Amino acid sequence: MLKDQNYYSKKYIKDGYVVIKNFFNGKEIRNFEKNLISVYSKFLNKKINKKNIHDIIQENEKNGNFDDLYKALKNYTKKKPFKSASKKLKKFSNLLFNKKFEPINSGMAIGINKSKRTSYEWHQEKPYYKDVSTIHYQFPILDLCNRSNGTMSVLVGSHNLGFIRKVENHKASKKSINSFVPKKIKQIAKKYPERFITMDVKDVVLFNENIIHRSNNNITNKVRFAGIIRLVEKR
Ligand SMILES: O=C(O)CCC(=O)C(=O)O
Ligand SMILES: [Fe+2]
187-226, pLDDT tens digit by residue? 999 999 999 999 999 999 999 999 999 999 999 999 999 9
Percent of the chain surpassing pLDDT 90 = 92
Question: Tell me, what's the pLDDT at 77?
Answer: 98
DSSP codes joined into one string, 20-60: ETT-S-HHHHHHHHHHHHHHHHHHHTS---TTTHHHHHHHH
Would residue 142 be called left, alpha or beta, if left means φ above 0 and alpha means ψ between -120 and 50 degrees? Answer: left
Using DSSP's 3-state secondary structure scheme, residue 227 falls into strand
Phi, psi (deg, nearest 5) at residue 21: -75, 145
| Cα 125 to ligand 2 centroid, rounded to whole Å | 5
pLDDT of residue 1 exceeding 70, the answer is: no
pLDDT of residue 90 exceeding 60, the answer is: yes
Among protein residues, the one with the nearest Cα to ligand 1's atom 5 is 109
Confidence band (pLDDT; 50, 70, 90) for 159?
very high
Domain ranges of the chain: 5-233
pLDDT of residue 173 exceeding 90, the answer is: no
| Cα 226 to ligand 1 centroid, rounded to whole Å | 8
Confidence band (pLDDT; 50, 70, 90) for 2?
low
Mean pLDDT of 100-127: 96
| Cα 47 to ligand 2 centroid, rounded to whole Å | 31
Question: Tell me, what's the pLDDT at 126?
Answer: 97
Closest CA to 34 of 88, 83, 76, 78: 76
pLDDT of residue 9 exceeding 60, the answer is: yes
To the nearest whole number, what is the mean pLDDT of the chain?
Answer: 96
Give 62's contacts (C-beta < 8 A, 6+ positions apart).
none
Confidence band (pLDDT; 50, 70, 90) for 4?
confident
Ligand 1 site, CB within 6 A:
109, 111, 119-120, 125, 136, 138, 152, 213, 215, 226, 228
Among protein residues, the one with the nearest Cα to ligand 1's atom 1 is 152
CATH number of 5-233: 2.60.120.620
